[in-house]
Structure 1
């Protein structure tokens, strides 16, 4: 690491720093080769070009061996501020990583068993669900539960809720009234309902609200200084928080805060910065949130991941693609490198956090734009660069 270069591109609303100008060393002998400084500069230029044509807005941070290499921010956060390194972004489904760690902590403490059923911890579910769905199924999207947002009547009612308890308890009640789409373990479908239920388990077992447990046992130990579950009124008024700008049929983008819940759930929409998520990745990989055994349990592949719509980053058509759902993250084998992390998306939101254990990189890309047909090109380009 050598000199520091900072620039502010006022016309584009861009800010950032390219922090590595010397050689970036590879990982240990026999491990994956890291991108060169020229690779990083080419990626930096690509992001700039994407922002120039309004194809990317948000912040990104690339970290190698715990040291920042590239930090960039582009576009507007809201009506009064530009995106910057301290901007808070709605995380969408990347929030599931926090929920998975909370479950693992309670399993490590002997308070939860991955093989125990949902009914062991949370009451009120029909026997079809309570007696057959296990914690393992919930974590791996193999429970047979679906998506809360597609449940008849859910979103219309949920948008009227004005308290944390209404969101948490009301969502759980909707899931209690649902039916399984397949027998637990017999299929795979990405499930926001499953991760919400995991949050209900955290609350029941810990004796705290889900939100308080995660703040105390995940955010604080990981050193996350601004990450939290902010409410919709805070989203409207806090200039640090990026508004979600969703693409409309006309091609224009509109602020869609009022299409989001009063507060996020265990399945989505905590708020974070790039720096906080890099700290979280470091704490998780460094066994600061879990002991080494449970870190390994959480980050190791369990079952093939559920199918995702659209093209996936790092996937080349016609080339075999190996991936596994872990207890929270997804791990993929891309060009002989394991890549472990999670992405998220919602109207006006696209987020991605990835860890590359072989080459010791972490990438955090948080955007307040949504994208059609898969992840943003910036996410795909970052993965291509590191795994090339």
Structure 2
């Protein structure tokens, strides 16, 4: 198989890139394909038994990662697992260049929006326990919402990015300048102040617009309904039951001090990269927010993103999800199955028939690729690019965690998709 070329040094918008990471072309379906169906037959022939040579050490995928790393176009950790067993695990680059700490297989990375997976699952768990209903108005559980939101936004709307909140700014309006927060309380007070000045972009339920603001609100909902902080809830009810010992919502102080956590390296206009955690006055040239974007200015991750995890922990998350350790079977199905069609933000113009329609689930995005079902989510911020994918029909898990900007991860994901599904 010919390897895709490494991406040129250009600056795609964060939104269009996340459209590919989280919306690679879903179909509703069960965690396991029914015997005798076309999906099951495809899955059986695509790698549920023999491990493709191209996914083994020294194979096409391994060689491509090394090619990118040798050109300094990739820094991070990649793990491909089948039925929970690691087939390929590689780490390249530096977690902390200043102190000469290399990235390792178990290095912890900021996940950006990939941690929306945990937010959605936390809400599904609370519904299973009878604490919430998907059709509940959010205002039933949270005070302080503007009247327009209080009267119309449901939990389902927030989970499926159909609330009308969008990215919390009017179309065409520049994002507000990022502030440096020195406590979680200060950070969330600013969130609520911003929310109360915002007008909905559309009537809830009539359209879809990706919304980190909406998932921030879900994090607040989890905290209110559960009676503990969002960060403590996810640790007690997701990370610990799944055996994710290194996963947490760390503070910026911990991010700077803990040598096990990778520092994001943000690309600059002059071609250099700077440490985001040590240079809060700097931002990345990548993304809609341009030079002013640096997620390390926040004190701690929220329901909207920036939990921390490792590649082994994210393989454990996939295994625990499939084993029913995080939700009962019916509610796991509700979590992974598509609810609404989610048109990719960047259209596939290649004419390829491999990519099917994409749907939004309750946290994950659920595409099909080469007639196989995937649940996935990607994340990107200054110096951060991450992707988690679980191939439901063949029990593969693919983790890509990078502490570089979103400039080389798209072709890595595309090659991953093709090799795991047996596409040519």
Question: Normalising by structure 2, what TM-score?
Answer: 0.80
Given candidates 376, 382, 388, the residue that maps to 2:410 is 376
Cα offset for 1:44?
0.7
Of 235-244 and 194-203, the range deviating more from structure 2: 235-244
Counterpart for residue 84 of structure 2: 66
Cα shift at 1:378? 1.7
Structure 1 323/153 Cα, relative in aligned 2: closer, same or farther at 3 Å? closer
Query: What CA distance in whole angstroms lies between the structure 1 residues aligned with 2:169 and 2:320?
Result: 32
Cα 1:149/1:54, change in 2 over 3 Å: farther
**How far has the Cα of 1:183 moved from its partner?**
0.3
Q: Distance in 2 between matches of 1:275 and 1:311?
A: 32
Q: 2:152 aligns with which of 124, 132, 156?
A: 132
- The residue aligned with 2:178 is 156
Q: Deviations over 1:269-303 (max 9, x none)?
A: 11110001111111112211000000000000001
| 1:173 Cα offset (Å) | 3.1
Distance 1:95 1:149 in 2: 22
Other-structure match for 2:220: 200
Shift in Å, 1:170: 2.7
Secondary structure at 1:185 match in 2: coil
Residue 66 of structure 2 corresponds to 48
Residue aligning to 1:213: 233
- Please say if residues 163 and 262 of structure 1, whose CA atoms lie closer than 8 Å, have aligned partners that are also in contact: yes
- Aligned to 2:400, what secondary structure does the other structure show? strand
Q: How many residues align?
A: 356
1:275 to 312, 325, 335: 312
Partner of 2:393: 358
State the partner residue of 2:338.
301
- State how 1:1-388 maps to structure 2 within 5 Å: 30-32=41-43, 33-34=46-47, 36-40=52-56, 41-78=59-96, 79-80=98-99, 81-148=101-168, 154-157=176-179, 159=180, 161-257=181-277, 258=280, 259=294, 260=296, 261-305=298-342, 307-308=344-345, 310=346, 316-317=350-351, 319=353, 321-372=356-407, 375-387=409-421, 388=423
Distance in 2, Cα, partners of 1:93 & 1:227: 15
| Partner of residue 23, structure 1 | none
TM-superposition CA deviations, 1:96-141 (whole Å, max 9, x none): 0111111011000111100011111111111210110111110001
Q: What is the CA–CA distance in structure 2 between the aligned matches of 1:38 and 1:349, rounded to whole Å?
A: 27
Structure 1 residue ranges without an equivalent (≥5)? 1-26
2:5 aligned residue: none
Distance in 2 between the 1:289 and 1:58 partners? 28
Superposition deviation, residue 250 in structure 1: 1.8
Distance 1:106 1:169, change over 3 A: farther
Q: Which residue of 2 aligns with 1:3?
A: none
Cα distance in structure 1, aligned partners of 2:350 and 2:138: 38
Mapped to 2, the partners of 1:162 and 1:123 lie a distance apart of 25
RCO (CA 8 Å, sep 6+): is it higher in 1 or 2?
Answer: 2
Partner-residue secondary structure (3-state), 1:284: helix
Determine if contact 2:55/2:61 at 8 Å carries over to the other structure. yes
- Shift of the 379–153 alpha-carbon distance from structure 1 to 2, 3 Å rule, reads closer
CA RMSD of aligned residues (A): 2.1
Q: How far, CA to CA, are the matches of 1:317 and 1:347 in structure 2?
A: 32
Structure 1 moving runs of 4+ over 4 Å: 148-155
Contact 2:358 2:365 (C-alpha < 8 Å) held by counterparts: yes
Q: Which shows bigger deviation, 267-276 or 144-153?
A: 144-153
Of the structure 1 ranges 253-262 and 315-324, higher mean CA displacement relative to structure 2 is found in 315-324
- In 1, the alpha carbon distance for the partners of 2:343 and 2:213 equals 14
